[in-house]
Amino acid sequence: MRFLAHYLKPFYGWMALGLFIKATGSLIELTLPYILSHILDNVVPGGQISQVLVWGGIMLACALFALIFNVIANRMAARVAKESSRVIRHDLFKKTLSLSSSQIDRITVPSLESRLTTDTYNVHHFVGMMQRLGVRAPLLMIGGLIVTWMLDRTLTLVMMATLPLICLVIGVISAKGIPLYTRVQRSNDNMIRIVREDAQGIRVINALSRTDDERARFETANKALVASEKKAGYTMALSNPLITLLLNIGLVGVIVIGAVLVNRSASQPGRIVAFIQYFTLITNAMLAVTRLFVQYSKGVASARRIEEIINLEPDVSVLPQDEVPASEGIPADGIYFDDVSFSYNGVRDNISHLTFHIPSGKSLGIIGPTGSGKSTVALLLMRFYDPTQGRIFINGRDIRTIPLDELSATFGAVMQNGFIFNDTIEENISFGRDIPHERITACCRTAQADEFIESFPESYARELTFKGTNVSGGQRQRILIARALAGDPSILILDDASSALDYQTDARLRQALAQDYPGTTSVIIAQRVSSVKSCATILVLESGKVIGQGDHETLMRTCPEYAEISHSQMGGDLLD
**Residues 372-418: tens digit of each pLDDT:** 889 999 999 999 889 999 999 999 899 999 998 899 889 999 987 77
Q: What pLDDT, on a 0 to 100 scale, did the predictor assign at position 247?
A: 74
Tell me: the pLDDT tens digits for 171-205? 777 677 767 777 887 787 788 778 777 776 776 77
Q: Which one, of 233, 230, 232, 246, lies nearest residue 169 by Cα? A: 246
Integer Cα distance of 87 and 49 in angstroms? 57
Q: Are strands 389-394 and 363-367 parallel, antiparallel or unpaired?
A: unpaired
pLDDT at residue 575 is higher than 60? no
Q: What pLDDT, on a 0 to 100 scale, did the predictor assign at position 97?
A: 85
pLDDT at residue 514 is higher than 80? yes
Give me the sign of the Cα torsion angle 400, 401, 402, 403.
positive
Range in 35-39, 204-208, 302-306, 449-453 with the lowest mean pLDDT: 204-208
Residues facing residue 221 across a β-bridge? none
* CATH architecture of the domain with residue range 2-310: Up-down Bundle (1.20)
pLDDT category of residue 576 using cuts at 50, 70 and 90:
very low
pLDDT category of residue 148 using cuts at 50, 70 and 90:
confident
Q: Which amino acid is at 558?
A: T
Residue 502 three-state SS:
coil
Integer Cα distance of 306 and 95 in angstroms? 10
Tell me: the pLDDT tens digits for 325-382? 777 778 888 999 999 999 987 778 889 999 999 999 999 999 988 888 899 999 999 9
> What are the residue boundaries of the structural domains of the chain, listed by start?
2-310, 321-570
pLDDT at residue 118 is higher than 70? yes
Angle made by CA atoms 411, 416, 422, in degrees to the nearest 5: 85
Q: What pLDDT, on a 0 to 100 scale, did the predictor assign at position 45?
A: 75
Backbone angles phi, psi at 421, to 5 degrees: -90, 160
Q: What pLDDT, on a 0 to 100 scale, did the predictor assign at position 357?
A: 92
Q: Are 171 and 296 in contact (CB under 8 A)?
A: no
Range in 126-140, 153-167, 475-489 with the lowest mean pLDDT: 153-167
Tell me: the pLDDT tens digits for 29-46? 888 887 877 787 777 777
Q: What pLDDT, on a 0 to 100 scale, did the predictor assign at position 358?
A: 93
pLDDT at residue 277 is higher than 80? no
**Cβ-proximal residues to 496 (8 Å cutoff; 6+ apart), any chain:** 375, 416, 525, 526, 527
Range in 81-95, 103-117, 260-274 with the lowest mean pLDDT: 260-274
Q: What pLDDT, on a 0 to 100 scale, did the predictor assign at position 466?
A: 80
Strands (E), 446-519: 491-495
pLDDT at residue 280 is higher than 70? yes
10 Å Cβ neighbour count for 544?
Answer: 22
Range in 80-89, 188-197, 525-534 with the lowest mean pLDDT: 188-197
pLDDT at residue 156 is higher than 80? no
Q: What pLDDT, on a 0 to 100 scale, did the predictor assign at position 200?
A: 66
Strands (E), 435-562: 491-495, 521-526, 537-542, 545-550
**Cβ-proximal residues to 289 (8 Å cutoff; 6+ apart), any chain:** 133, 137, 138, 141, 170
Q: What pLDDT, on a 0 to 100 scale, did the predictor assign at position 267?
A: 64
Q: Which class in CATH covers the domain with range 321-570?
A: alpha beta
Q: Are 221 and 186 in contact (CB under 8 A)?
A: no
286 or 445: which leads in pLDDT: 445
Q: Give CA separation, 487 vs 66, 295, 484, 506, 564, in Å.
A: 61, 48, 6, 21, 37
Mean pLDDT (the chain) is: 84
Q: Are 429 and 422 in contact (CB under 8 A)?
A: no
**Cβ-proximal residues to 131 (8 Å cutoff; 6+ apart), any chain:** 15, 18, 19, 22, 73, 76, 77, 80, 81
Share of the chain above pLDDT 90, in %: 23
Q: What pLDDT, on a 0 to 100 scale, did the predictor assign at position 574?
A: 43
Residue 352 three-state SS:
strand
Q: Are 243 and 290 in contact (CB under 8 A)?
A: yes
Residues facing residue 57 across a β-bridge? none
Q: Which amino acid is at 88?
A: I
pLDDT at residue 571 is higher than 70? no
Q: Which amino acid is at 172?
A: V
Q: Give CA separation, 463 vs 49, 285, 286, 414, 511, in Å.
A: 75, 55, 55, 21, 29
Backbone angles phi, psi at 535, to 5 degrees: -70, 145
What is the maximum span of the chain, computed from C-alpha positions, in angstroms? Answer: 119
Integer Cα distance of 94 and 544 in angstroms? 34
C-alpha dihedral over 537, 540, 546, 547, to 10 degrees?
Answer: -120
pLDDT at residue 320 is higher than 80? yes
Residues present in the chain in total: 576
The reply to whether 321-570 shares the fold of 2-310 is no
Residues facing residue 335 across a β-bridge? 358, 394
Integer Cα distance of 509 and 400 in angstroms? 33
Q: Which one, of 2, 18, 140, 174, lies nearest residue 81 by Cα? A: 18
379 alpha-carbon distance from chain centroid: 23
Q: What pLDDT, on a 0 to 100 scale, did the predictor assign at position 572?
A: 47
99 alpha-carbon distance from chain centroid: 12
Mean pLDDT on 112-126: 87
